[in-house]
């Protein structure tokens, strides 16, 4: 039998294990032109929370009592498609199933000899691409500038900070534990870290950590941390709205300070970013990331949870900050 994970309820507020359901189905068989895939690594990502709402967005919502999907690395265990062989590994958006069939459309082969399989879901996948492409398009980092990053010990944030160092910037990260601050300084080379859970005044903490102000703020979390970054933004500052995890589980539209005045006075550019809008740049961007990796200019951290049955819990743990670097489930 084949294990499948369905969305059982649309979560209200913070998602819970009860919102997911494990269902058994018959193991599928590949038809002509198809292959049978065995799931090896599953990416769990904060944006999946948005797909659990029944709302129109840039990506369709999950359907109740249907499988969830995310970035998955799978092994081809049987192939009736001439473009794929048994033993190949593929990467793409696939269902939360132990086994599934696929035609190969939208799937890319990945080479386990060039990088660990899980890295294709992180630094060499959408995580790395998000960090690199958004910094190129919106950040436009200049040597000597101050880059402030939130979610800084997470998958995207830790990559952003390291690219900031490659570009010769002063890099300050914000994260939720002292252990994460240590990691971002010692492993990722950040100049300074702020633990947002232990400081009283975020505005002051950012001002102290960024004595020359903030030239580029990379926002992974939104809310009060974004507000503090805006209070410290420099003339011609750039704000990259990549994510807003602090708001994802809110049930009402949050209210906060208004910063239109700051944006005019300081001629700030604030821009939302969606990595999926930049598919044409994926090739060269991946090459650049791979080159930095092999030159040891870039490194990465992963939190690898074992077991198909733990996929929902690993997803929930993102909202508790239990991951360092990319959260991945090994099946
Ligand atoms: P992370 O690896 O950063 O994991 C999530 C982290 O968010 C947690 O570890 C936790 O760290 C932090 N967090 C959780 N709740 C809160 C909160 N209430 N306030 C502040 N921080 C919180 O995830 P990713 O790197 O995969 O994603 C980072 C962001 O980028 C997300 O918002 C995601 O949606 C977005 N994203 C956007 C893309 C795009 O195309 N726009 C593409 C990919 C990701 P801590 O312990 O520090 O709190």
Q: What is the residue-wise DSSP string for 51-90? A: HTSS---SSPPPPBTSB-EEEEEEEEEEE-STT--TT-EE
Q: Give a yes or no: residue 287 inside a domain.
A: no
Q: Is the CB of 300 under 6 A from ligand 1?
A: no
Instruction: Annotate 80-116 with DSSP letters as a single string.
Output: -STT--TT-EEEEEEESBSEEEE-STT-EEE-TTTS-
Instruction: Annotate 228-275 with DSSP letters as a single string.
Output: HHHHTEEEEEEEEE---GGGTT-SS-------HHHHHHTT-EEEE--G
Number of domains in the chain: 2
Count of CB atoms situated within 10 Å of the CB of 57: 10
Domain identity same for 236 and 224:
yes
Domain identity same for 157 and 75:
no
Contacts of 256 by beta carbon, 8 Å cutoff, 6+ apart: 223, 224, 227
The angle that helices 126-134 and 282-294 make with each other, rounded to 10 degrees, is 100
The CA 151 to ligand 1 mean position distance, Å, reads: 5
Residues 313, 14: Cα–Cα separation, whole Å: 12
Contacts of 285 by beta carbon, 8 Å cutoff, 6+ apart: 128, 129, 132, 133, 136, 278
Domain identity same for 251 and 175:
yes
Q: Give a yes or no: residue 24 inside a domain.
A: yes
Q: What CATH number does residue 45 fall under?
A: 3.90.180.10
Instruction: At 269, list the tokens.
Output: 């550019």
Instruction: Answer with the one of 260, 276, 292 that is the final residue of a domain.
Output: 276
CA torsion through residues 91, 94, 99, 103, sign: negative
Domain identity same for 112 and 172:
no
Domain identity same for 115 and 183:
no
Q: Give a yes or no: residue 179 inside a domain.
A: yes
Residues 327, 47: Cα–Cα separation, whole Å: 13
Domain identity same for 66 and 139:
no
Q: Is the CB of 104 under 6 A from ligand 1?
A: no
Which atom of ligand 1 lies nearest, measured to the CA of 45?
A: 26
Q: Is the CB of 243 under 6 A from ligand 1?
A: yes
The CA 103 to ligand 1 mean position distance, Å, reads: 32
Pocket-testing residue among 58, 127, 154, ligand 1, by greatest number of atoms within 8 A of Cβ:
154
Instruction: At 229, list the tokens.
Output: 């970054």
For position 148, what pLDDT does the model report? 99
Domain identity same for 86 and 193:
no
Domain identity same for 136 and 112:
no
Among 110, 292, 127, 148, smallest CA distance to 225 is for 148
Per-position pLDDT tens, the chain of length 331:
999 999 999 999 999 999 999 999 999 999 999 999 999 999 999 999 999 999 989 999 999 999 999 999 999 999 999 999 999 999 999 999 999 999 999 999 999 999 999 999 999 999 999 999 999 999 999 999 999 999 999 999 999 999 999 999 999 999 999 999 999 999 999 999 999 999 999 999 999 999 999 999 999 999 999 999 999 999 999 999 999 999 999 999 888 899 999 999 999 999 999 999 999 999 999 999 999 999 999 999 999 999 999 999 999 999 999 999 999 999 9
Which atom of ligand 1 lies nearest, measured to the CA of 175?
A: 47
Q: Is the CB of 173 under 6 A from ligand 1?
A: no
Pocket-testing residue among 152, 199, 300, 321, ligand 1, by greatest number of atoms within 8 A of Cβ:
321
For position 170, what pLDDT does the model report? 98
Nearest CA residue ID for atom 39, ligand 1: 274
Which atom of ligand 1 lies nearest, measured to the CA of 244?
A: 32
For position 254, what pLDDT does the model report? 87
Instruction: Annotate 112-157 with DSSP letters as a single string.
Output: TTTS-GGGGGTTTSHHHHHHHHHIIIII---TT-EEEEESTTBHHH
The CA 207 to ligand 1 mean position distance, Å, reads: 23
User: Which domain covers residue 101, as residue numbers?
Assistant: 2-122+300-330
Q: Give a yes or no: residue 291 inside a domain.
A: no
Domain identity same for 10 and 105:
yes
Q: Is the CB of 272 under 6 A from ligand 1?
A: no
Q: Is the CB of 156 under 6 A from ligand 1?
A: yes
The CA 116 to ligand 1 mean position distance, Å, reads: 23
Q: What CATH number does residue 175 fall under?
A: 3.40.50.720
Q: Is the CB of 157 under 6 A from ligand 1?
A: yes
Domain identity same for 45 and 85:
yes
Domain identity same for 322 and 226:
no
The CA 182 to ligand 1 mean position distance, Å, reads: 18
Domain identity same for 130 and 272:
yes
For position 316, what pLDDT does the model report? 98
CA torsion through residues 39, 123, 157, 195, sign: positive
């Amino acid at each position: 039998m084949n294990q499948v994970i369905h969305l059982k309820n649309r979560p209200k507020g913070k998602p819970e294990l009860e919102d997911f359901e494990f269902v058994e189905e018959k193991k599928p068989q590949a038809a002509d032109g198809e292959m049978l895939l065995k799931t090896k690594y599953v990416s769990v990502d904060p944006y999946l929370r948005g797909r659990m709402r029944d709302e129109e967005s840039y990506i369709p919502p999950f359907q109740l009592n249907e499988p969830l999907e995310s970035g998955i690395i799978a092994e081809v265990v049987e192939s009736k498609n001439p473009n794929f062989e048994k033993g190949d590994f593929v990467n793409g958006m696939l269902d939360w199933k132990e086994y599934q069939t696929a035609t190969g459309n939208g799937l890319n082969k990945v080479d386990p000899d060039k990088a660990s399989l899980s890295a294709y879901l992180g630094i060499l996948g959408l995580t790395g691409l998000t960090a690199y492409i958004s910094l190129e398009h919106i950040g436009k980092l200049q040597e000597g500038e101050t880059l402030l990053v939130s979610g800084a010990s997470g998958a995207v944030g830790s990559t952003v900070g390291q690219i900031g160092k490659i570009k010769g910037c002063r890099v300050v990260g914000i994260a939720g534990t002292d252990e994460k601050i240590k990691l971002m300084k010692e492993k990722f080379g950040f100049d300074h870290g702020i633990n947002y859970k232990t400081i009283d005044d975020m505005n002051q903490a950012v001002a102290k950590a960024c004595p020359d102000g903030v030239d580029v703020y990379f926002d992974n979390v939104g809310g009060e941390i974004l507000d503090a970054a805006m209070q410290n933004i420099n003339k011609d500052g750039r704000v990259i709205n990549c994510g807003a995890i602090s708001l994802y589980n809110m049930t009402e539209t949050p209210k906060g300070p208004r910063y239109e005045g700051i944006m005019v006075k300081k001629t700030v550019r604030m821009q939302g970013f969606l990595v999926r809008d930049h598919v044409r740049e994926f090739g060269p961007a991946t090459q650049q990331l791979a080159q930095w990796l092999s030159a040891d200019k870039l490194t990465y951290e992963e939190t690898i949870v074992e077991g198909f049955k733990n996929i929902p819990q690993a997803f929930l743990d993102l909202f508790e900050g239990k991951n360092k670097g990319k959260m991945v489930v090994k099946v």
